[in-house]
């Protein structure tokens, strides 16, 4: 029987600046706090939006809406191969210029009065231009949004005056992921949902595995738990300035169902229990029984990295109790029917697991919204939640990141 002391050895106390007490519930239901998060976080930091494989050729583009910033965004690869981001907003009188969610075009013509823009954002033509006063074409292109690429991931930053580079922003989590062959997994499938939850309520469910034994009893069986690790304790975690990583235990003695076993013959799975994988960019703690790593890129991106497959989540705040959720699974292109079966099985399995989270989180948010609890308790294994709480507080209350723990913890 493990003692309480042994059950509290994940490392919370290694970070005295994060505290050990309950955390305030206010950030999860306060509309005023939510407004401050939008201005102090989502308007200031780098945000992961997509992979550059979504726009492989010159003039390929994607558009999407970022609700926290009320911004329609156009990401486009120019003739010169460079990926740029713009407000999808006409310089004439503000129409949304591109209405399609993706495509390829050398130029974009606004359908209101026909102003046209090149794929590098510059203004190409203005109908009946002679009727305008002081038309400075050089100043009337699409308004740029800062954009950069790391490891094939496109990030944007709404802070036009921000000075921090993307690689400085990613810092240690970038180092941790270095070497993982993201581009190899170029086949992707995506689903989106609008959840009736606060964005942090949603993310917190992916920052701990304390709930796995209970909430995912049906879908996960004992693949991530077992006699050696009945409460799915994570074996390794590290918190950085703003980001954090944990490695999830995989039960080496797990017996897959017959269908799972069939799927596993043809390829990987995030729940397969990829024992002792030692390739670059995964299993940083070199745990002997390892399933996958969860990297939390502040503020709203989660990357789940397993052997030979990975997934991303983005959580886009809409309101204090509403969040748009984008889930994308990435695989190597299937070469035969068996591999296709493996990938579709693993995507469906993951979707079922996530639905168990989603329905529970909506009920949780409904209850949290009452304000009947002013604080929440955190287990030692919920260190990552405590860390993110502190980072968010640093931005909201102090106008910048003040958590700054840089300690390494290995169990």
| Residues near Fe ion, by CB under 5 A | 357
Q: Looking at 105-113, 270-278, 280-288, 373-381, which segment touches ligand FES (CB under 6 A)?
A: 105-113
Q: Would you mind telling me the total number of residues written for the chain in this entry? A: 411
**Which residues, listed in sequence order, are joined to residue 74 by a DSSP beta bridge?**
63, 86
| Closer residue to Fe ion (CB): 124 or 358 | 358
36 contacts ligand FES (rule: CB under 6 A) = no
By a kind-dependent CB cut-off of 5 to 8 A, residue 93 interacts, out of ligand FES, Fe ion, none, with: ligand FES
106 contacts ligand FES (rule: CB under 6 A) = no
Distances (CA, A) of 97 to 59, 209, 221: 15, 44, 49
| Closer residue to ligand FES (CB): 110 or 289 | 110
Q: Looking at 111-119, 160-168, 244-252, 354-362, which segment touches ligand FES (CB under 6 A)?
A: 111-119
Distances (CA, A) of 74 to 27, 102, 152, 244, 249: 31, 9, 17, 29, 39
C-beta atoms surrounding 318 within 10 Å: 16
By a kind-dependent CB cut-off of 5 to 8 A, residue 253 interacts, out of ligand FES, Fe ion, none, with: none
HSE-CB of 178 using CA atoms within 13 angstroms: 8
| Closer residue to Fe ion (CB): 213 or 322 | 213
- At residue 54's C-alpha, the angle toward residues 303 and 62, to 5°, is 110
CB 337 within 8 A of CB 348: no
- Least distance from Fe ion to the Cβ atom of residue 107, Å: 45
Among 2, 106, 113, 406, binds ligand FES (CB under 6 A): 113
Among 112, 132, 191, 214, binds ligand FES (CB under 6 A): 112
**Beta-strand (E) ranges in 286-358?**
290-297, 301-306, 309-319, 322-331
3-state SS class at 36: helix
Binding mask 143-182 for ligand FES (x = CB under 6 A): ----------------------------------------
- Of residues 71-90, those binding ligand FES (CB under 6 A): 90
Site size with ligand FES, rule: CB under 6 A: 10
Query: Rounded CA gap, 248 and 273, in Å?
Result: 9
Q: Looking at 31-39, 91-99, 213-221, 302-310, which segment touches ligand FES (CB under 6 A)?
A: 91-99
By a kind-dependent CB cut-off of 5 to 8 A, residue 357 interacts, out of ligand FES, Fe ion, none, with: Fe ion
Residues whose CB is less than 8 angstroms from the CB of residue 94 and which lie 6 or more positions away in sequence, other chains included: none
322 contacts ligand FES (rule: CB under 6 A) = no
By a kind-dependent CB cut-off of 5 to 8 A, residue 112 interacts, out of ligand FES, Fe ion, none, with: ligand FES
Query: Rounded CA gap, 156 and 143, in Å?
Result: 13
- Least distance from ligand FES to the Cβ atom of residue 220, Å: 51
- Least distance from ligand FES to the Cβ atom of residue 136, Å: 16
Residues whose CB is less than 8 angstroms from the CB of residue 222 and which lie 6 or more positions away in sequence, other chains included: 251, 254
CB 64 within 8 A of CB 33: no
- Measured at CB, which residue is nearest to Fe ion? 357
Q: Which residues bind ligand FES (CB under 6 A)?
A: 90, 92-95, 110, 112-115
């Amino acid at each position: 029987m493990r003692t309480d002391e042994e059950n509290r050895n994940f490392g919370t106390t290694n970070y005295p600046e994060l505290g050990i007490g309950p955390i305030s519930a206010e950030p999860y239901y306060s509309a005023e706090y939510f407004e401050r998060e939008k201005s102090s976080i989502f308007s200031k930091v780098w945000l992961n939006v997509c992979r550059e494989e979504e726009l492989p050729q010159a003039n390929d583009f994607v558009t999407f809406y970022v609700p926290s910033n009320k911004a329609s965004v156009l990401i486009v690869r120019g003739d010169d191969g460079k990926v740029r981001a713009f407000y999808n907003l006409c310089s004439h009188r503000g129409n949304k210029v591109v209405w399609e969610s993706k495509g390829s075009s050398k130029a974009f013509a606004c359908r209101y009065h026909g102003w046209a823009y090149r794929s590098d954002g510059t203004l190409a033509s203005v109908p009946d231009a002679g009727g305008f006063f002081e038309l400075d074409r050089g100043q009337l292109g699409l308004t740029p949004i800062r954009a950069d690429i790391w490891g094939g991931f496109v990030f944007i930053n709404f802070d036009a005056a921000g000075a921090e580079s993307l690689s400085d922003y990613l810092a240690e989590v970038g180092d941790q992921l270095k070497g993982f062959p993201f581009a190899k997994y170029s086949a992707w499938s995506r689903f989106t949902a609008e959840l009736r939850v606060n964005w942090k309520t949603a993310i917190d469910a992916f920052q701990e595995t304390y709930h796995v034994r209970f909430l995912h009893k049906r879908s996960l069986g004992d693949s991530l738990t077992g006699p050696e690790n009945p409460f799915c304790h994570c074996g390794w975690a590290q918190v950085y300035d703003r980001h954090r990583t944990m490695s999830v235990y995989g039960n080496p003695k797990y017996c897959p169902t017959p269908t799972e076993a069939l799927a596993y013959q043809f390829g990987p799975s995030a729940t397969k229990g990829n024992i002792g994988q030692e390739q670059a960019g995964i299993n940083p703690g070199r745990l002997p029984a390892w399933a996958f790593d969860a990297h939390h890129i502040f503020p709203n991106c989660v990357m789940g990295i397993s052997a030979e497959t990975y997934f991303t989540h983005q959580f886009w705040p809409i309101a204090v109790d509403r969040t748009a959720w984008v889930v994308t699974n990435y695989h190597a292109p299937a070469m035969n029917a068996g591999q296709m079966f493996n990938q579709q099985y693993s995507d469906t399995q993951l979707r079922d697991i996530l639905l168990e989270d989603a329905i529970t989180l909506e009920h949780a948010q409904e209850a949290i919204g009452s304000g009947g609890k002013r604080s929440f308790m955190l287990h030692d294994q919920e260190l990552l939640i405590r860390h993110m709480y502190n980072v968010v507080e640093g931005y909201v209350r102090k106008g910048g990141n003040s958590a700054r723990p840089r300690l390494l913890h290995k169990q």
